[in-house]
Structure 1
Amino acid sequence: METRCIIVDDEPPALDLLASYIDRLDNFKLLGRFGNAIEAFNFMNANAVDLMFVDIQMPQMNGLELIKSLVPRPHVVITTAYREYAADGFDLAILDYLVKPVSFDRFLQSISRYSNSNNASQYQENSLQDTYMFFKVERLMVKIYLKDITYIESIHDYIKIITPDKTYITYTRIGFMDDKLPEGHFVRIHKSYIISLNKIESFRHDSVTVSGRELPVGRVFKQTFIKALENHKFFKE
Protein backbone atom coordinates (compact mmCIF):
# COMPACT_ATOMS: atom_id res chain seq x y z
CA MET A 1 0.00 0.00 0.00
CA GLU A 2 1.39 3.39 -1.01
CA THR A 3 1.90 6.22 1.45
CA ARG A 4 0.44 9.41 -0.02
CA CYS A 5 2.67 12.44 0.64
CA ILE A 6 2.61 16.18 0.06
CA ILE A 7 5.22 18.91 0.60
CA VAL A 8 4.31 22.46 1.64
CA ASP A 9 7.10 25.04 1.43
CA ASP A 10 7.48 28.48 -0.16
CA GLU A 11 11.13 27.79 -1.06
CA PRO A 12 11.50 25.91 -4.39
CA PRO A 13 14.91 24.38 -3.47
CA ALA A 14 13.36 22.84 -0.34
CA LEU A 15 10.48 21.44 -2.41
CA ASP A 16 12.94 19.96 -4.90
CA LEU A 17 15.11 18.39 -2.20
CA LEU A 18 12.27 16.67 -0.33
CA ALA A 19 10.68 15.55 -3.58
CA SER A 20 13.97 13.90 -4.57
CA TYR A 21 14.13 12.14 -1.19
CA ILE A 22 10.57 10.82 -1.47
CA ASP A 23 11.29 9.64 -5.00
CA ARG A 24 14.01 7.29 -3.63
CA LEU A 25 11.52 5.43 -1.42
CA ASP A 26 9.50 2.40 -2.35
CA ASN A 27 5.74 2.64 -1.67
CA PHE A 28 5.81 6.41 -1.06
CA LYS A 29 4.01 8.58 -3.61
CA LEU A 30 4.25 12.37 -3.85
CA LEU A 31 0.73 13.63 -4.58
CA GLY A 32 1.60 17.30 -4.69
CA ARG A 33 4.01 20.10 -3.80
CA PHE A 34 2.64 23.45 -2.72
CA GLY A 35 4.22 26.88 -2.36
CA ASN A 36 1.71 28.08 0.21
CA ALA A 37 -0.45 26.63 2.96
CA ILE A 38 -3.80 27.69 1.51
CA GLU A 39 -3.24 25.67 -1.67
CA ALA A 40 -2.30 22.68 0.47
CA PHE A 41 -5.38 23.16 2.68
CA ASN A 42 -7.69 23.17 -0.34
CA PHE A 43 -6.00 20.07 -1.76
CA MET A 44 -6.32 18.13 1.49
CA ASN A 45 -10.00 18.98 1.76
CA ALA A 46 -10.51 17.09 -1.49
CA ASN A 47 -7.83 14.37 -1.30
CA ALA A 48 -6.63 11.82 1.26
CA VAL A 49 -3.05 12.45 2.46
CA ASP A 50 -1.09 10.17 4.78
CA LEU A 51 2.08 12.18 5.38
CA MET A 52 2.72 15.92 5.09
CA PHE A 53 6.08 17.72 5.13
CA VAL A 54 5.46 21.38 5.96
CA ASP A 55 7.52 24.52 6.50
CA ILE A 56 6.50 26.97 9.23
CA GLN A 57 7.19 30.47 7.98
CA MET A 58 5.09 31.01 4.86
CA PRO A 59 2.97 33.94 3.60
CA GLN A 60 -0.80 34.20 4.24
CA MET A 61 -0.98 31.11 6.49
CA ASN A 62 1.98 29.61 8.33
CA GLY A 63 2.64 25.93 8.82
CA LEU A 64 1.42 25.76 12.42
CA GLU A 65 -1.88 27.39 11.42
CA LEU A 66 -2.23 24.87 8.60
CA ILE A 67 -1.67 21.93 10.96
CA LYS A 68 -4.26 23.27 13.42
CA SER A 69 -6.82 23.72 10.63
CA LEU A 70 -6.77 20.10 9.45
CA VAL A 71 -9.48 17.72 10.68
CA PRO A 72 -8.72 14.88 10.31
CA ARG A 73 -4.99 15.47 10.27
CA PRO A 74 -2.35 13.41 8.41
CA HIS A 75 0.99 12.53 9.98
CA VAL A 76 3.06 15.72 9.99
CA VAL A 77 6.78 16.36 9.70
CA ILE A 78 7.80 20.00 10.14
CA THR A 79 10.75 21.18 8.04
CA THR A 80 12.10 24.60 9.01
CA ALA A 81 15.24 26.68 9.42
CA TYR A 82 14.12 27.72 12.90
CA ARG A 83 14.64 25.59 16.00
CA GLU A 84 12.51 27.72 18.32
CA TYR A 85 9.18 26.34 17.07
CA ALA A 86 9.92 22.76 18.13
CA ALA A 87 7.85 22.90 21.32
CA ASP A 88 4.87 24.35 19.43
CA GLY A 89 5.16 21.59 16.87
CA PHE A 90 5.30 18.74 19.37
CA ASP A 91 2.34 20.25 21.25
CA LEU A 92 0.41 19.53 18.05
CA ALA A 93 1.52 15.88 18.19
CA ILE A 94 3.63 16.07 15.05
CA LEU A 95 5.62 13.06 13.95
CA ASP A 96 9.01 14.80 13.68
CA TYR A 97 10.75 18.19 13.46
CA LEU A 98 13.52 18.62 10.88
CA VAL A 99 15.84 21.62 10.84
CA LYS A 100 17.04 22.73 7.40
CA PRO A 101 19.18 21.83 5.60
CA VAL A 102 17.65 18.36 5.87
CA SER A 103 20.04 15.50 5.17
CA PHE A 104 18.80 12.27 3.62
CA ASP A 105 19.91 10.36 6.72
CA ARG A 106 17.78 12.59 9.00
CA PHE A 107 14.88 12.39 6.55
CA LEU A 108 15.00 8.59 6.80
CA GLN A 109 14.59 8.84 10.58
CA SER A 110 11.26 10.57 9.99
CA ILE A 111 10.24 7.85 7.55
CA SER A 112 11.18 5.22 10.15
CA ARG A 113 9.01 7.00 12.73
CA TYR A 114 6.13 7.03 10.28
CA SER A 115 6.54 3.31 9.55
CA ASN A 116 6.76 2.50 13.27
CA SER A 117 3.65 4.55 13.89
CA ASN A 118 1.69 2.57 11.33
CA ASN A 119 3.01 -0.73 12.64
CA ALA A 120 2.03 0.21 16.18
CA SER A 121 -1.58 0.74 15.16
CA GLN A 122 -1.65 -2.84 13.88
CA TYR A 123 -0.27 -4.53 17.00
CA GLN A 124 -2.21 -7.50 18.24
CA GLU A 125 -3.25 -7.05 21.86
CA ASN A 126 -2.94 -10.75 22.68
CA SER A 127 0.74 -11.19 21.86
CA LEU A 128 3.99 -9.28 21.53
CA GLN A 129 5.98 -12.31 20.44
CA ASP A 130 6.70 -11.17 16.90
CA THR A 131 6.13 -7.43 17.24
CA TYR A 132 9.11 -5.12 16.79
CA MET A 133 10.09 -1.56 15.98
CA PHE A 134 13.19 -0.13 14.32
CA PHE A 135 15.18 2.61 16.08
CA LYS A 136 18.13 4.69 14.90
CA VAL A 137 20.99 3.86 17.29
CA GLU A 138 24.18 5.70 16.36
CA ARG A 139 24.43 4.95 12.62
CA LEU A 140 22.39 1.76 12.53
CA MET A 141 18.67 1.00 12.30
CA VAL A 142 18.22 -1.53 15.11
CA LYS A 143 15.30 -3.94 15.41
CA ILE A 144 13.97 -4.23 18.97
CA TYR A 145 11.23 -6.70 19.87
CA LEU A 146 8.65 -5.22 22.21
CA LYS A 147 8.61 -8.38 24.32
CA ASP A 148 12.25 -7.63 25.22
CA ILE A 149 11.66 -4.09 26.46
CA THR A 150 11.82 -3.79 30.25
CA TYR A 151 11.27 -0.06 30.49
CA ILE A 152 11.93 3.20 28.67
CA GLU A 153 13.52 6.27 30.24
CA SER A 154 13.35 9.80 28.86
CA ILE A 155 16.49 11.92 28.47
CA HIS A 156 15.30 15.25 27.03
CA ASP A 157 14.70 14.58 23.29
CA TYR A 158 16.19 11.08 23.57
CA ILE A 159 15.09 7.87 25.23
CA LYS A 160 16.90 4.89 26.75
CA ILE A 161 15.32 1.55 25.87
CA ILE A 162 16.30 -1.00 28.48
CA THR A 163 16.23 -4.72 27.67
CA PRO A 164 17.65 -7.61 29.72
CA ASP A 165 20.76 -7.75 27.54
CA LYS A 166 21.39 -4.20 26.40
CA THR A 167 20.46 -0.52 26.68
CA TYR A 168 19.79 1.49 23.51
CA ILE A 169 19.77 5.30 23.19
CA THR A 170 17.81 6.81 20.32
CA TYR A 171 16.50 10.22 19.24
CA THR A 172 12.81 9.86 20.07
CA ARG A 173 10.56 11.62 22.58
CA ILE A 174 8.91 9.56 25.27
CA GLY A 175 5.53 11.04 24.32
CA PHE A 176 5.86 9.48 20.88
CA MET A 177 6.48 6.07 22.43
CA ASP A 178 3.60 6.54 24.86
CA ASP A 179 1.28 7.05 21.89
CA LYS A 180 2.60 4.13 19.86
CA LEU A 181 3.17 1.28 22.32
CA PRO A 182 0.16 -1.02 22.83
CA GLU A 183 -1.82 -0.07 25.94
CA GLY A 184 -2.41 -3.60 27.16
CA HIS A 185 1.32 -4.24 27.53
CA PHE A 186 2.93 -0.93 28.43
CA VAL A 187 1.98 1.96 30.72
CA ARG A 188 3.50 5.34 31.41
CA ILE A 189 4.07 5.73 35.16
CA HIS A 190 6.00 9.00 35.23
CA LYS A 191 6.94 11.86 32.91
CA SER A 192 10.26 10.06 32.43
CA TYR A 193 9.27 6.37 32.43
CA ILE A 194 7.22 3.81 30.50
CA ILE A 195 7.28 0.24 31.79
CA SER A 196 6.37 -3.18 30.47
CA LEU A 197 3.53 -4.61 32.56
CA ASN A 198 4.90 -8.10 32.06
CA LYS A 199 8.21 -7.11 33.69
CA ILE A 200 6.73 -5.83 36.99
CA GLU A 201 8.14 -7.61 40.04
CA SER A 202 6.48 -5.57 42.80
CA PHE A 203 4.77 -2.22 43.36
CA ARG A 204 3.38 0.09 45.99
CA HIS A 205 1.50 3.38 45.92
CA ASP A 206 4.45 5.51 44.81
CA SER A 207 6.88 3.15 43.07
CA VAL A 208 7.20 0.00 40.99
CA THR A 209 10.08 -2.46 40.66
CA VAL A 210 10.84 -3.66 37.15
CA SER A 211 13.62 -6.21 36.64
CA GLY A 212 15.37 -5.15 39.82
CA ARG A 213 15.06 -1.38 39.24
CA GLU A 214 12.73 0.67 41.46
CA LEU A 215 11.04 3.45 39.49
CA PRO A 216 8.82 6.29 40.76
CA VAL A 217 5.10 6.48 39.99
CA GLY A 218 4.21 10.11 39.27
CA ARG A 219 1.14 11.59 40.90
CA VAL A 220 -0.57 12.48 37.63
CA PHE A 221 0.04 8.96 36.25
CA LYS A 222 -1.12 7.04 39.33
CA GLN A 223 -4.72 6.40 38.24
CA THR A 224 -3.61 5.33 34.78
CA PHE A 225 -1.13 2.93 36.38
CA ILE A 226 -3.75 1.41 38.70
CA LYS A 227 -6.19 0.98 35.82
CA ALA A 228 -3.50 -0.76 33.76
CA LEU A 229 -2.81 -3.13 36.66
CA GLU A 230 -6.50 -3.94 36.98
CA ASN A 231 -6.85 -4.61 33.25
CA HIS A 232 -3.73 -6.76 33.32
CA LYS A 233 -5.26 -9.02 36.00
CA PHE A 234 -2.79 -8.13 38.76
CA PHE A 235 -5.65 -8.04 41.23
CA LYS A 236 -7.47 -11.33 41.77
CA GLU A 237 -11.09 -11.37 42.91
Structure 2
Amino acid sequence: MKINCIVVDDEPVSRDTLHQYISNCPSLHLVEVCKNAIEASMVLNTKEVHLIFLDINMPKLSGLQFYKSLVNPPTVIFTTAYPEYAVEGFEVEAIDFLLKPFSFERFLKSVNKVSNLLKMAHNKDQNEAFILWKADKKIHKVKIAEIEYLEAVGDYVKVVYGNSSLLVHSTFQNILAQLPSEKIVRIHKSFAIALSKIKIISANKVKLNTTSIPIGQTYRTGFLEFINNNS
Protein backbone atom coordinates (compact mmCIF):
# COMPACT_ATOMS: atom_id res chain seq x y z
CA MET A 1 0.00 0.00 0.00
CA LYS A 2 1.35 3.39 -1.01
CA ILE A 3 1.39 6.02 1.74
CA ASN A 4 -0.03 9.32 0.48
CA CYS A 5 1.96 12.14 2.06
CA ILE A 6 2.33 15.90 1.97
CA VAL A 7 5.19 18.19 2.94
CA VAL A 8 4.42 21.38 4.87
CA ASP A 9 7.46 23.64 5.31
CA ASP A 10 8.14 27.32 4.74
CA GLU A 11 11.83 26.75 3.92
CA PRO A 12 12.63 26.02 0.23
CA VAL A 13 15.75 23.97 1.07
CA SER A 14 13.79 21.76 3.48
CA ARG A 15 10.99 21.26 0.97
CA ASP A 16 13.49 20.27 -1.72
CA THR A 17 15.26 17.82 0.60
CA LEU A 18 12.03 16.11 1.60
CA HIS A 19 10.87 16.01 -2.03
CA GLN A 20 14.09 14.22 -2.97
CA TYR A 21 13.92 11.79 -0.04
CA ILE A 22 10.27 10.93 -0.77
CA SER A 23 11.01 10.33 -4.47
CA ASN A 24 13.63 7.77 -3.40
CA CYS A 25 11.21 5.92 -1.13
CA PRO A 26 8.97 3.44 -3.04
CA SER A 27 6.41 3.18 -0.23
CA LEU A 28 5.57 6.91 -0.40
CA HIS A 29 3.44 8.88 -2.85
CA LEU A 30 3.90 12.65 -2.66
CA VAL A 31 0.51 14.30 -3.01
CA GLU A 32 1.57 17.93 -2.56
CA VAL A 33 4.33 20.21 -1.28
CA CYS A 34 2.93 23.10 0.77
CA LYS A 35 4.58 26.32 1.96
CA ASN A 36 2.25 26.91 4.90
CA ALA A 37 -0.69 25.62 6.92
CA ILE A 38 -3.29 27.33 4.71
CA GLU A 39 -2.11 25.46 1.61
CA ALA A 40 -2.00 22.23 3.61
CA SER A 41 -5.58 22.72 4.81
CA MET A 42 -6.81 22.98 1.21
CA VAL A 43 -5.05 19.75 0.29
CA LEU A 44 -6.38 17.85 3.31
CA ASN A 45 -9.92 18.96 2.49
CA THR A 46 -9.76 17.63 -1.06
CA LYS A 47 -7.36 14.67 -1.13
CA GLU A 48 -6.66 11.51 0.84
CA VAL A 49 -3.54 11.97 2.93
CA HIS A 50 -2.08 9.36 5.29
CA LEU A 51 1.05 11.18 6.46
CA ILE A 52 2.24 14.79 6.95
CA PHE A 53 5.87 15.85 7.11
CA LEU A 54 5.23 18.99 9.12
CA ASP A 55 7.64 21.78 10.01
CA ILE A 56 6.96 23.15 13.48
CA ASN A 57 8.42 26.65 13.32
CA MET A 58 6.41 28.44 10.60
CA PRO A 59 5.14 32.05 10.51
CA LYS A 60 1.52 32.99 11.37
CA LEU A 61 0.49 29.43 12.30
CA SER A 62 3.02 26.96 13.68
CA GLY A 63 2.99 23.32 12.70
CA LEU A 64 1.89 22.33 16.20
CA GLN A 65 -0.99 24.84 16.21
CA PHE A 66 -2.06 23.67 12.77
CA TYR A 67 -1.96 19.97 13.68
CA LYS A 68 -3.91 20.54 16.90
CA SER A 69 -6.61 22.32 14.89
CA LEU A 70 -7.32 19.28 12.67
CA VAL A 71 -10.40 17.24 13.52
CA ASN A 72 -9.23 13.90 12.08
CA PRO A 73 -5.52 14.46 11.52
CA PRO A 74 -3.36 12.10 9.45
CA THR A 75 -0.25 10.58 10.97
CA VAL A 76 2.46 13.20 11.46
CA ILE A 77 6.25 13.35 11.46
CA PHE A 78 7.46 16.72 12.71
CA THR A 79 10.53 18.34 11.18
CA THR A 80 12.36 21.26 12.76
CA ALA A 81 15.76 22.77 13.53
CA TYR A 82 14.74 23.41 17.14
CA PRO A 83 15.05 20.36 19.46
CA GLU A 84 13.15 22.13 22.27
CA TYR A 85 9.91 21.47 20.37
CA ALA A 86 10.33 17.69 20.57
CA VAL A 87 8.46 17.15 23.83
CA GLU A 88 5.42 19.13 22.69
CA GLY A 89 5.51 17.30 19.36
CA PHE A 90 5.25 13.90 21.01
CA GLU A 91 2.40 15.15 23.21
CA VAL A 92 0.20 15.21 20.10
CA GLU A 93 1.22 11.60 19.36
CA ALA A 94 3.64 12.33 16.56
CA ILE A 95 5.19 9.19 15.09
CA ASP A 96 8.63 10.76 15.03
CA PHE A 97 10.59 13.99 15.27
CA LEU A 98 13.25 14.75 12.65
CA LEU A 99 15.86 17.31 13.67
CA LYS A 100 17.17 19.28 10.69
CA PRO A 101 19.39 18.58 8.91
CA PHE A 102 18.61 14.85 8.88
CA SER A 103 20.00 12.08 6.69
CA PHE A 104 18.06 9.86 4.32
CA GLU A 105 18.74 6.91 6.63
CA ARG A 106 17.14 8.77 9.55
CA PHE A 107 14.22 9.77 7.32
CA LEU A 108 13.74 6.17 6.19
CA LYS A 109 13.65 4.97 9.80
CA SER A 110 10.70 7.31 10.45
CA VAL A 111 8.90 6.18 7.30
CA ASN A 112 9.26 2.53 8.32
CA LYS A 113 7.62 3.32 11.66
CA VAL A 114 4.64 4.82 9.85
CA SER A 115 4.46 1.98 7.36
CA ASN A 116 4.37 -0.64 10.11
CA LEU A 117 1.68 1.19 12.07
CA LEU A 118 -0.52 1.69 9.00
CA LYS A 119 -0.16 -1.98 8.07
CA MET A 120 -1.22 -3.02 11.56
CA ALA A 121 -4.25 -0.72 11.42
CA HIS A 122 -5.17 -1.97 7.94
CA ASN A 123 -4.90 -5.62 8.99
CA LYS A 124 -7.03 -4.95 12.04
CA ASP A 125 -9.73 -3.37 9.87
CA GLN A 126 -9.61 -6.29 7.46
CA ASN A 127 -9.85 -8.83 10.27
CA GLU A 128 -12.87 -7.05 11.74
CA ALA A 129 -14.70 -6.53 8.44
CA PHE A 130 -17.90 -8.53 8.18
CA ILE A 131 -20.96 -9.04 6.01
CA LEU A 132 -24.56 -9.86 6.93
CA TRP A 133 -26.31 -12.68 5.07
CA LYS A 134 -29.81 -14.08 5.50
CA ALA A 135 -30.09 -17.85 5.82
CA ASP A 136 -32.54 -20.17 7.64
CA LYS A 137 -34.79 -17.17 8.34
CA LYS A 138 -32.02 -15.57 10.38
CA ILE A 139 -29.42 -12.86 9.80
CA HIS A 140 -25.88 -14.20 10.14
CA LYS A 141 -22.79 -12.05 10.72
CA VAL A 142 -19.82 -13.51 8.84
CA LYS A 143 -16.29 -12.15 9.22
CA ILE A 144 -14.75 -11.88 5.77
CA ALA A 145 -11.38 -13.01 7.12
CA GLU A 146 -12.96 -16.33 8.21
CA ILE A 147 -14.43 -17.25 4.80
CA GLU A 148 -12.73 -20.28 3.27
CA TYR A 149 -14.67 -20.82 0.05
CA LEU A 150 -17.98 -20.30 -1.74
CA GLU A 151 -19.87 -22.86 -3.77
CA ALA A 152 -22.78 -22.30 -6.15
CA VAL A 153 -25.55 -24.82 -5.31
CA GLY A 154 -28.58 -24.33 -7.57
CA ASP A 155 -30.36 -21.14 -6.51
CA TYR A 156 -28.17 -20.87 -3.42
CA VAL A 157 -24.57 -20.15 -2.51
CA LYS A 158 -22.87 -22.22 0.15
CA VAL A 159 -20.55 -20.09 2.27
CA VAL A 160 -17.98 -22.05 4.26
CA TYR A 161 -16.30 -20.09 7.06
CA GLY A 162 -14.60 -21.02 10.32
CA ASN A 163 -16.33 -24.17 11.56
CA SER A 164 -19.68 -23.24 10.00
CA SER A 165 -21.47 -22.93 6.69
CA LEU A 166 -24.51 -21.10 5.33
CA LEU A 167 -26.83 -21.57 2.36
CA VAL A 168 -27.63 -18.08 1.10
CA HIS A 169 -30.46 -17.67 -1.41
CA SER A 170 -28.71 -15.57 -4.05
CA THR A 171 -26.82 -15.79 -7.31
CA PHE A 172 -23.13 -16.60 -7.22
CA GLN A 173 -22.28 -13.36 -9.00
CA ASN A 174 -24.23 -11.27 -6.51
CA ILE A 175 -22.46 -12.82 -3.53
CA LEU A 176 -19.03 -12.34 -5.12
CA ALA A 177 -19.83 -8.68 -5.83
CA GLN A 178 -20.24 -8.12 -2.08
CA LEU A 179 -16.75 -9.42 -1.28
CA PRO A 180 -13.25 -7.94 -1.82
CA SER A 181 -11.93 -9.27 -5.15
CA GLU A 182 -8.34 -9.11 -3.92
CA LYS A 183 -9.17 -11.62 -1.17
CA ILE A 184 -11.88 -13.88 -2.62
CA VAL A 185 -11.08 -15.23 -6.10
CA ARG A 186 -13.22 -17.28 -8.46
CA ILE A 187 -11.38 -20.36 -9.79
CA HIS A 188 -14.30 -22.38 -11.19
CA LYS A 189 -17.81 -21.72 -12.48
CA SER A 190 -19.10 -23.04 -9.13
CA PHE A 191 -16.30 -22.14 -6.70
CA ALA A 192 -14.49 -19.11 -5.30
CA ILE A 193 -11.78 -19.36 -2.65
CA ALA A 194 -10.14 -17.17 -0.02
CA LEU A 195 -6.50 -16.61 -0.95
CA SER A 196 -5.49 -16.60 2.73
CA LYS A 197 -6.73 -20.18 3.13
CA ILE A 198 -4.64 -21.69 0.30
CA LYS A 199 -2.23 -24.43 1.38
CA ILE A 200 -1.17 -25.99 -1.94
CA ILE A 201 -1.81 -25.17 -5.63
CA SER A 202 -1.43 -28.07 -8.07
CA ALA A 203 -2.15 -28.39 -11.79
CA ASN A 204 -5.91 -28.75 -11.47
CA LYS A 205 -6.88 -28.07 -7.87
CA VAL A 206 -6.27 -25.90 -4.84
CA LYS A 207 -5.94 -27.43 -1.38
CA LEU A 208 -7.43 -25.25 1.36
CA ASN A 209 -7.57 -25.71 5.13
CA THR A 210 -10.38 -28.27 5.06
CA THR A 211 -10.91 -29.35 1.44
CA SER A 212 -9.64 -29.34 -2.14
CA ILE A 213 -11.31 -27.18 -4.82
CA PRO A 214 -11.03 -27.84 -8.59
CA ILE A 215 -9.60 -25.16 -10.87
CA GLY A 216 -11.84 -24.68 -13.89
CA GLN A 217 -10.21 -24.63 -17.32
CA THR A 218 -11.78 -21.23 -18.11
CA TYR A 219 -10.37 -19.68 -14.92
CA ARG A 220 -6.96 -21.38 -14.79
CA THR A 221 -4.87 -18.83 -16.70
CA GLY A 222 -6.35 -15.79 -14.97
CA PHE A 223 -6.02 -17.38 -11.53
CA LEU A 224 -2.37 -18.39 -11.99
CA GLU A 225 -1.50 -14.93 -13.36
CA PHE A 226 -3.20 -13.36 -10.33
CA ILE A 227 -1.17 -15.57 -7.98
CA ASN A 228 2.10 -14.80 -9.78
CA ASN A 229 1.43 -11.05 -9.72
CA ASN A 230 0.59 -11.05 -6.01
CA SER A 231 3.19 -13.43 -4.65
Distance 2:24 2:55 in 1: 21
Q: CA deviation at 1:121?
A: 1.9
Distance 1:31 1:123 in 2: 24
Give the gaps of 5 or more residues in structure 2: 126-231
Task: State whether residues 2 and 28 of structure 2, in contact with CA within 8 Å, keep that contact through their aligned partners in structure 1.
Answer: yes
- Matched to 2:109, the amino acid is Q
- Matched to 2:25, the amino acid is L
| Alignment CA distance shift 1:124-1:46 (3 Å) | closer
Which position in structure 1 is the counterpart of 2:93? Answer: 93
Which position in structure 2 is the counterpart of 1:23? Answer: 23
For these two proteins, the number of residue pairs brought into alignment is 126
- Matched to 1:121, the amino acid is A
Distance 1:38 1:122 in 2: 30
- Matched to 2:18, the amino acid is L
Which position in structure 2 is the counterpart of 1:116? Answer: 116
1:43 pairs with 2:43: yes
- Map 1:1-237 to 2 at 5 A: 1-122=1-122
Give the gaps of 5 or more residues in structure 1: 126-237
Distance 1:120 1:51 in 2: 15
What's the RMSD between the two structures over aligned residues? 1.8
- Percent sequence identity over matched residues? 44
The Cα offsets for residues 170-216 of structure 1, whole Å up to 9 and x where unpaired, read as xxxxxxxxxxxxxxxxxxxxxxxxxxxxxxxxxxxxxxxxxxxxxxx
Q: CA deviation at 1:11?
A: 0.4
The Cα offsets for residues 12-41 of structure 1, whole Å up to 9 and x where unpaired, read as 010000010000111311111111111111
- Matched to 1:45, the amino acid is N
Task: State whether residues 3 and 115 of structure 2, in contact with CA within 8 Å, keep that contact through their aligned partners in structure 1.
Answer: no
Distance 1:115 1:4 in 2: 11
| Alignment CA distance shift 1:75-1:124 (3 Å) | closer
Distance 1:118 1:91 in 2: 20
- Matched to 2:15, the amino acid is L
Larger radius of gyration: 2
Q: CA deviation at 1:123?
A: 5.0
Task: State whether residues 5 and 29 of structure 2, in contact with CA within 8 Å, keep that contact through their aligned partners in structure 1.
Answer: yes
